[in-house]
Structure 1
């Protein structure tokens, strides 16, 4: 089986998702049969697990998002012609639109994974309206749509997509804690970590408001940077908040090992992979009650949920934390992760999706 993954962006959760999936596919189908198409400017953000497994990496120029989309079209058509994939797996909205529109006449199968429906994003009403129109029109243009959370599945049904086309495959990661040393973070205060994009969707501005004036209680680290938008960040941050910039996954994991609690203040979220990465390490999670985060944390049973876009509620929740509460949620979060969110289950289910839409002449993957 020959598989081409197409991404308009690989920064954030999509990159982590592919870091679990692509090495498995290389082992099952051979490195010559797995390709990944990503922006040239995102090459350094490709997880080492993808580069080291031998998958073929293709790039396209992306000087701006708009011009990059046209250049992605050109590079994608070249890749399809040369590689002749059996399956094209498109990730997120822009790649999903391009692959489905260009796939009206084809001899390969298309799988689309939204990684968070664009119709859920906040902002101008006309943008959401356009996104909804496109998803309804292109709903049947993919052979299969993989959604990564129950929330995404419900939204697919609300969009009128056929249940026969939509498969729920909740995201997962390796059950083993990465063997990286903990970062240096000596502090008697509660060590609070944010890890992700600084874009509007992720709500880092909400967190900054929530911890304002709490330097006596918290030491805060922000790992990440802007990827989609350039929202305003304060020119200077209070002494109890440190902005560390982008890190590779091992760097993020080192910070996660050192923290006491992870905060995920998103405005909307298809899944929320960083939450299960923390739970794997037995780190408690405080998150906004949006999208897949509600499912991951079991409506507050396995972590702490607060209303979205409410810095006061987040502040109150953080101020109420005790060492005992953090330890308790860390333990139950780890159990939740092991029961529901491991990658061996995820990659098997995705293999099953591929096989279900392909002609019977193609062999099933070999066990690894």
Structure 2
């Protein structure tokens, strides 16, 4: 089988997802049969394991999201002609739009993974309505939609997708602990970590409000940067807040190994991969009660959930974390991860999806 992965962006969760998927698929199908179409200026965001797998990576020019569309479309068309895939697996909304609009007359199968429905984006009601209509139309030219959480699956039903076109494949990561030393973070205060995009969706501004005035009790590190609709962080952050910028996944893991708690204050979330990355390490998670995050944390059984966009509630939750509670959450989260979020299971289920929908 010849497989083409199409990504308009690989920064954040989508990049982490394909980093888990592609090396195992190269083992299954062979390096000559797996191709990855990605932005040329984002190739350095890929894990070393993806590069080492031998997958053929085809870049397109993406100086900005808007200008990159033209290069994206033309490069994708060329790859289709030259590679002649059996399956095109599109990741996220823009890639899904391009792949499904251009695949009216085709001999290949289209699999789409939204990685968080665009219709869940907070904003103007009219725009959400338009997005819903677009998804319903594009569903007609989609052979299978892969949903990475129960939340995404339910939303697909709300949008009117035929159930026969839906496959629930919960995201996973390899259970083996990354071999990296803990980052240096000597502090007697509660060590709080945020890792993700500094975009409106991810709620880093909510976290900054939550830790405001907590210099004596908390130390916060921010890992990431803006991508889609980035928030302008204050030019001068408080002394108890450090912005480390983008780090690769191993370096993020090193920070996780040093922190007391990971905070995921998202406004909406299809899944929340960073949460299971922390739980794999036994790092307690405090997250917004939205989307896939609620499922991962079992509505508070395996971590702490707080209302979204509520800095006061988030602050209270962090201040309530005693050493005993942190130890309890660490054990609960690790157990939850091992029981539900293996990438080996995810790869098997994705392979079954491809086999089921082959034209």
Both proteins in one fold, TM over 0.5? yes
For 2:230 and 2:219, the matched residues in 1 are separated by: 25
Match of 1:326 in 2: 326
Deviation at 1:124, TM superposition (A): 2.3
Distance 1:241 1:97 in 2: 39
- Show the counterpart of 1:309: 309
Aligned to 1:266: 266
Task: Summarize deviations over 1:112-146 as a string: whole Å, max 9, x none.
Answer: 00000000011222321221111011112111000
d(CA) in 2 for partners of 1:238 and 1:132? 41
Residues 266-289 of structure 1 deviation map (CA, whole Å, 9 limit, x = unaligned): 000000000000000001000000
**Which residue number in structure 2 is paired with residue 203 of structure 1?**
203
SS of match in other structure, 2:110 = strand
Conserved in 2, the CA contact under 8 Å of 1:140 and 1:165? Answer: no
| 3-state secondary structure, aligned to 2:226 | coil
Aligned to 1:173: 173
TM-score normalized with structure 2 length: 0.99
Runs of 4 or more, structure 1, over 6 Å off, are none
2:237 corresponds to? 237
2:186 is aligned with 1:186: yes
Alignment map for 1:15-54 (pairs within 5 Å): 15-54=15-54
Alpha-carbon separation, structure 1, partners of 2:260 and 2:96: 37
Q: For the residues of structure 2 that align with 1:39 and 1:196, how far apart are their CA atoms?
A: 19
Deviation string 1:53-99 (CA, Å, 9 cap, x unpaired) is 11001111112212212221111000010000010000000000100
Deviations 1:148-184 (A, max 9, x none): 0000000000000000000000000001110111101
State the partner residue of 1:13. Answer: 13
RMSD, aligned CA: 0.8
1:306, distance to aligned residue in structure 2 (A):
0.2
Structure 1 residue 323 displacement after superposition: 0.8
Gaps of 5+ in 1: 360-368
Residue in 2 aligned with 1:139? Answer: 139
Is the Cα contact below 8 Å between 1:47 and 1:248 reproduced in 2? Answer: yes
Match of 1:162 in 2: 162
What SS is found at the alignment partner of 2:163?
Answer: coil
Q: Distance in 2 between matches of 1:295 and 1:52?
A: 33
Structure 2 CA distance for aligned equivalents of residues 136 and 66 of structure 1: 24
